[in-house]
Structure 1
Amino acid sequence: MVRKIKWIFLTALFLLLVAVGYYTYAFLHFANNIQAKPDNTKLFSGITAQNTTKVSETYTPPKWEGKQRVNVLLLGGDSRGLKKNEIPRSDTLMVASIDPITKKAYLFSILRDTYVKIPGYGDDRINSALALGGPNLAMRTVGDLLGIPIQYYVYTDFKGFIALVDAIDGIDIEVEKDMKYSDSEDGHEYDINLKKGMQHLNGKTALQYVRFRHDALSDFARTERQRKFIQAVAEKMQSTSSLIKLPRILNSVDPYIETNLTTTDMLKLGSLGYEAKASGMVSEQIPPSELLIEKRVGGADVLSVNRDKLQSYIKALFEDRDPSLSPNQVPATKDNGKGGTNNSKTTNGSAVLSSTPKTGSMHN
């Protein structure tokens, strides 16, 4: 009997070691493949040597030691119709920010028509920074706008997004209304046709959901949907079933992702990201509606913002106080009976669009 128990124990130990080895190999293989290398970038080979030098001289991403807030720029590229080695504009810009002390997570979606100063290139829409100088320039531009250090970036395109959603077996989400749009320039590959109501979205239909912007609210509603969807993905990725499938998930998205995260940083950030529960994520549109300034530049509608006011707004969010109040106006907090404090900002991952500007002809 003792001998039988011993063999059962040894067999279980062996299987555990095999599983650990498999997961370790899958992660290391994934980490090595998606790391950007200056002399061998798989997704940004079109950046000229002149641009790369220009960016490296003006911005070196700050190091993250693991104790201070970490900020990651999430870039979604639209590579449709590009010539060989041509760099896309960023179709989506988001910043994921996590405080390693409080484990509180924030997700900011930046309106892509926000008119900003791009270092070395003058004033332009923020989504053009990626095309002008690659991820480093995009990080510098976003960091200057928000007033926070951007340590890392993660880039993917439509195919990477589809692969990720399919790898986690789709997402159940409430589609707010019927969404329909047709574009023959893509050979109708990315047409949008969704019905209102609870839907199980696979990779292709999820892409339709987060891309739709052909209504009165345009990019304002689109960025809100993107934050809502990313939170749903984060919650599913934290589930036990997704963790079991992690090697397959990593293998599926591997060809479509690039990042400046090192393997060590991925491990630290992955552990922190798991501890920061997605259900409590603070979700915000940037610039917020109350700070938006509508402008016309070169005959086109763009969005502007007072950078100092925006940075004060971001700081207030991080300090867990009402951004509409100055620090000396903040009322004393009261215990809410659950060990927390009352706060006027919602953290349900879906920011309310109040006083939304009427701009409806923004850049596509």
Structure 2
Amino acid sequence: MTAHPYAGAVPGAGTGSGARAYGSAAGTTASPIRYPDTTSPRAMTVRGWWLVVLNLLMPGSAQVLAGNRKLGRFGLYFTFGLWITAILAFVVYQIWPQVLFSIATLPIPLTIVQVVLVAYAVLWVVLTLDTLRLVRLVRAGPRARTAIAAFSVILLTLTSGGAVWGGYLAGVQRDLVNSIFSVQAAAEPPVDGRYNILLLGGDAGEDREGLRPDSMTVVSIEADTGRATMIGIPRDLQQVPIAADSPLIGTDYAPDGVYDCGSDCQISFLYPRVEAFDSDLYPNAEAEGSLPGIEATKDAIEGALGLTIQYYVLIDMQGFSDLIDALGGVDINVTEALPMGGDEELNEVEGWIWPGEQHMDGYTALWYARSRHSTSDYDRMERQRQLQTAILQQFDPVNVLSKFQGIAAAGAQVVKTDIPQSTLAYFVDLALKTKDLPIDNVELTPPLIDPENPDWDLVRQTVGDALVLSSSTDTPAH
């Protein structure tokens, strides 16, 4: 009896007509994926589609079935690892979202995410190119060759390109965190169940020397619920009592504990003066992520309101428009016509913001916050608070993710703060709670408070009552 010519041969060995004959014979008993009938364009076309779809659904499976099993297993392990990680992330987000917020706000986890995503992108390129090799396009039907190749390239662009883009965004986020948030600053505990954050709007316009805080707001947030109260502080507030432990006390600023020298001692003047002439009063400020002028302003506001200010956020109003443009604009209900550019009587007006619902770009929103020639400083304060609230409400995950690169680039130039990196996850979680709750507003302005001769007992009682009301009811305080 004559032995079969391929008896004892290694499956798939050999080339040419003999190998094709074996493939045809063995295809009835062996895997048609690994040992296809290469003489059948129809079979090779079906096999090709199977391989590219499997490579999409389970990268590495095409190699396990038809190619290098070692490479395929590595791809499958990597893929299953990412699937398991994604499932765990979803479960953790439902139970303890701060864990994921920590990953998204700390440089080391973000670096790990970036490396993993880039590695997966490279692996997907390797597996896709190897899958195309295994498909053997020249054996597929003539019309199917282009379709299979084009489909593979499109999928490669979407999958591998998506992973690279995700890695890039992780790097952008890491750089943003490092550029804005402090590493040196220590985490502060809540006081009376609240975090009090000083929000300063610094205006360094072309007509100014240096930066001066034209907008001062204390955002008081309940540590448990996220309910927030915004306390507006007039920039022309005078006779301000200074916090008892401040280095300003006993100096020319506050020899008797009060910052009082008439109209030349408005609270907004503390920042530029201490920065320019007496920064040595706060020698550790910069090492702790702050500035001497900011620390002096915090001491004054703590003394005025009777609150402990744990952190500050300084927003440069000149760069504010970039942030709003990055968000895609902001929706504001305008109640009166406001000039943009200056005084109407001096023919300085560049345009007008008209009453009604307006979708503002950054330039218009900046003038909405700064316009002063037809209204008072206290009207400006109210508009600035309105703008801050509107921006907060637009920081939803979809909007931020879709425009993340622009927001990050603007934020790095606009914002300075001493909020530590170690507390970012907590404050992200708290901000999401705040976004879904009404925000209460307290304005320490006339006729309630006279900025030139404030009744400090009334100021503290007003603030205290507002915080108690905010804690006990869902009705906004006014």
Match of 1:33 in 2: 179
TM-score when normalising by structure 1: 0.69
Write the letter of the residue equivalent to 1:106.
T
Change (3 A) 1:311 1:192: farther
Change (3 A) 1:62 1:7: closer
1:29 aligned partner, one-letter code: D
Query: What secondary structure is seen at the aligned counterpart in 1 of 2:189?
Result: coil
Once the two structures are superposed, residues 309-334 of structure 1 have per-residue CA deviations (whole angstroms, 9 ceiling, x without a partner) of: 21122121111179xxxxxxxxxxxx
Indicate if the aligned counterparts of 2:219 and 2:228 stay in contact, CA closer than 8 A.
yes
Identity %: 26
- Aligned residue for 2:314, secondary structure, equals strand
d(CA) in 2 for partners of 1:77, 1:316: 29
Q: Which of residues 336, 340, 343 is equivalent to 1:177?
A: 336
Task: Give, in whole Å, the separation in 2 of the partners of 1:239 and 1:207.
Answer: 24
Is 1:92 aligned to 2:251, yes or no? no
Map of 1:139 onto structure 2: 298
Matched ranges for 1:195-344 at <5 A: 195-215=354-374, 217-277=375-435, 279-285=437-443, 287-289=444-446, 291-293=448-450, 302-320=451-469, 341=473, 343=475
Query: How far has the Cα of 1:239 moved from its partner?
Result: 4.9
The separation in 2 between residues aligned to 1:212 and 1:174, in whole angstroms, is 16
- Of the structure 1 ranges 24-33 and 147-156, higher mean CA displacement relative to structure 2 is found in 24-33
The 1:24/1:106 distance shift into structure 2, 3 A limit, reads: farther
Give the deviation of 1:29 after TM superposition. Answer: 0.9
The amino acid across from 1:99 in the alignment is: E
The residue type paired with residue 308 of structure 1 is D
8 Å CA contact 1:28–1:263 kept in 2: the answer is no
Deviation at 1:289, TM superposition (A): 3.9
CA distance in 1: counterparts of 2:448 and 2:213, whole angstroms: 23
Check conservation: 1:73, 1:93, Cα contact below 8 A: yes
- 1:204–1:114 CA distance, 2 compared to 1 (3 A): same
- The 2-side partners of 1:93 and 1:248 are apart by 26
C-alpha displacement of 1:213: 2.4
| Residue in structure 1 matching 2:317, options 137, 146, 158 | 158
CA contact (8 A) 1:111 1:220 kept: yes
The 8 Å contact of residues 237 and 243 in structure 1, kept in 2 or not, is answered as: no
Once the two structures are superposed, residues 92-122 of structure 1 have per-residue CA deviations (whole angstroms, 9 ceiling, x without a partner) of 1111221121220111221111112453413
Deviation at 1:192, TM superposition (A): 5.7
- Specify which structure has the higher proportion of strand: 1
Larger Cα-atom Rg: 2
Q: What is the rounded CA distance, in whole Å, between the counterparts of 1:80 and 1:189 in structure 2?
A: 16
How far residue 212 of structure 1 moved from its aligned partner, in angstroms, is 1.8
How many residue pairs are counted as aligned between the two chains? 293
Kept in 2: contact 1:179–1:193 (CA 8 A): yes
Compared CA separation, residues 239 and 191, structure 1 to 2 (3 A) = farther
Change (3 A) 1:321 1:200: closer
SS in 1 for 2:452: strand
Question: In the TM superposition, what is the alpha-carbon distance from 1:259 to its structure 2 partner?
Answer: 1.4
Asked if residue 110 in structure 1 is aligned to residue 229 in structure 2, the reply is no
Secondary structure class of the residue paired with 1:75: strand
Aligned to 1:80: 205
**1:291–1:197: structure 2 CA closer, same or farther, 3 Å change rule?**
closer
Alignment deviations for residues 31-59 of structure 1 (CA, whole Å, 9 cap, x no partner): 22124699xxxxxxxxxxxxxxxxxxxxx
Per-residue CA distance 1:330-354 (angstroms, 9 max, x = gap): xxxxxxxxxx8575xx35xxx5xxx
**1:303 Cα deviation from its structure 2 partner:** 3.2
- List alignment gaps of at least 5 residues for structure 2: 1-49, 61-75, 84-119, 121-158, 243-247, 254-258, 275-292
| Structure with the larger helix share | 2
> AA paired with 1:202?
D
Which whole-Å deviations, capped at 9, do the CAs of 1:259-299 have from their partners, x for residues lacking one? 112212233222211121255111221x1545312xxxxxx
Q: Which amino acid aligns with 1:102?
A: T
> How far off is 1:240 after superposition?
2.1
